Chain A
Amino acid sequence: MIGVELRKLFRRPRTWVTIAVLNALPVLVAVLVQLTDLAPRPGEGPPFLSAVLTNGALFPLAALAIVLPLFLPIAVAVVAGDAVAGEAQAGTLRYLLVRPAGRTRLLVAKLVAVIAFVLATVLVVAGVGYVVGTTLFDAQPVGGGTSVSGTSLTQQELAGRSLMAIGYVTVSMLGVAAFGLFFSTLTDSPLAAALGALAVLVTSSLLFTLDAASPIAPYLPTRYWLAFVDLFRDPILWRDVVRGLALQGVYVGVLLAAAWANFTTKDVTS
């Protein structure tokens, strides 16, 4: 059933259009920075972008930081929101459920498909970022790079930490995916489900900037998103990374349980 869902997702043209659009923004930023030679001033703009002019191999991270706050979660919310509600809207959900596989397995298969989409998207953004970064900017293939703390990282260390960052960004999107999937079981409209997940994200991002909301900040789904920067400190600052992983785990667990409680007892008519 998981294989069926994966094939369905990746055979759709719109999946690939979404990934292409996601890549357009970092590429545009790279071209503009290269043409004008104007990187954002240190401390402003997305993380790592100001360092890209001296080391193009850092552009995959800058590209991820560019799409992470808005573009990537929108794409994930749309795909996850479509998972169940899309079938309901197309009138195919009840045929899907006639198969003896069961609703719980269908939910898990949908979640796995969304996770696969997130991973593919993040990998493509990082890969395109690497190609664009090393083509447009000077890369430092011999010396590796400099960590955020000012120590030297070998090429292997930099690659290893970049891979960890890609994994971390993927996990960070699971919370959004779980919200989208849960809302998708509540409604027959994929648009409503995607907008619901986005509403949660906007609320979370807004509350995170408010000092008055600091007591609940550790529980906001977007709280630890930027913690992938901590992987490039030396020694690595694991605290927020570990908390980010645990928090996403809790959100996925709770929302999947809620989606399961709702979906397995729902009267499916379309």
Chain B
Amino acid sequence: MAARGYGATPRWAAVGLLVALLVALPSVVAALPADDADVPAADLRAAVLASADVGFSGYAVSAGGLALPVSDRLTAVADLFSDRTLVRVWWRGPEEHRVDVVTAAGETGVHRDPGGTWTWDFEAATATRGSPASLALPSPPDLLPAALGRRLLSEAAEDELSRAGARRVAGRDALGLRVVPADAASSVGRVDVWVDPASGLPLQVEVFAEDADLPALDTRFLDLDLAVPPADVVAFTPPPDATVLPAPDTEELIAQAEERAPDVSLPDELAGLPRRTFAGVPDAVGVYGRGVTLLAAAPLPGRLAGGLREALTASPDAVTDELGTRVAAGPLGLMLVTPPDGPAYVLTGTVTLDALADAARRLPGAAS
């Protein structure tokens, strides 16, 4: 029998060395420097905007820190911006792709084909067929780095763009492209888009609120394969035992909402941002601004206004004065305007609380 401790030191030293090596390995890999390349910001943006047809498949994670003060009817949207969402994607083009939101015990897959979308929900065993809508709530495909990056860069002006070094994302060297919005009303401090220079695909997008160190929204690829995925992976046929549902008709819903909306005419400019028009947006809704600085204004029927007020005042940061109630979730501002005479309004967008108050004063019938 060996006496206690005989030969113990070298053996424990070997074990300690093994542990130290294993603990250090991830940080060493993470610290590997990324190769920067001398690509001007404007060229990088052009490459990103041209990347919609690049085929790829991958695994992405989006993490949001935005606690949206919404009612329980919009929990899916609220979860999207406040939780970690894991997404698998197969992209053959803007009209042919598949995006699966992966959860621990199930998944929800959106299969897009030129005729519309199939949405498969494993846990409910339902397949929903929808048609492409011009106006829709945010959904997981919108938060993919590639889609979000293209959207946020699409309206950026040349003088808002700068380069921001390089970093490794999903095992690739990604070049940084920074957007600092020029509008004084903007609540977005900056947007960093990390781009794969060869394909132009955004690999990571970070949105920072004004003066924030941590991103309010961070979406990035964990794995990326730059090969066009096979068509049969993207296509979908409902399984025989699934319930097949038609999607709610959003065009009809919007038309109904427009009929019920109070009749007002919104100003041509709010908070220094010019009004603009989009196809599919009803006249009762005003959209203002450009790029990452956007503001939407809409009159509200009284019934909805009461529910929204409850949701907003429940937030500890809510500011209530003679104009109404306003609250910020990261860079996203939301305000319920309650004028002394005339209908209530909802204002929301990536603008500061001061800009929201300024906009509220200019609405028809508002307290000045």
Q: Which residues of A come within 8 Å of B, CB atoms? A: 42-43, 46-48, 50-51, 54, 65, 94, 97, 143, 146, 148-152, 226, 229-230, 233, 235, 237, 239, 250, 253-254, 257-258, 260-262, 264-268
Contacts and interface: CB of A to CB of B under 8 A. Distances in A.
Nearest to A233: B107
A149 B19 CA distance: 39
A253 B14 CA distance: 12
Given A229-B105, A267-B4, A257 B240 contact: no
Contacts of B236: 150
B12 interface: yes
Given A148-B107, A237-B59, A266-B4, A42 B124 contact: yes
B58 to A, nearest CB: 11
Contacts of B8: 261, 265
Given A233-B102, A254-B22, A265 B2 contact: yes
B1 A47 contact: no
A93 to B, nearest CB: 11
14 contacts: A42-B124, A47-B106, A51-B125, A65-B105, A97-B1, A148-B122, A254-B15, A257-B15, A262-B12, A264-B2, A265-B8, A267-B1, A267-B3, A268-B1
Interface in B1-26: 1-8, 11-12, 14-15, 18-19, 22
A34 B123 CA distance: 19
Contacts, number: 95
Interface in B48-94: 59, 88
A235 B233 contact: yes
Given A42-B106, A65-B105, 13 more contacts: A43-B106, A143-B240, A146-B239, A150-B122, A226-B104, A233-B102, A237-B88, A254-B15, A254-B18, A257-B15, A261-B8, A265-B2, A267-B1
Contacts of A230: 102
B109 A265 contact: no
Interface string B111-140: 000000000111111010000000000000
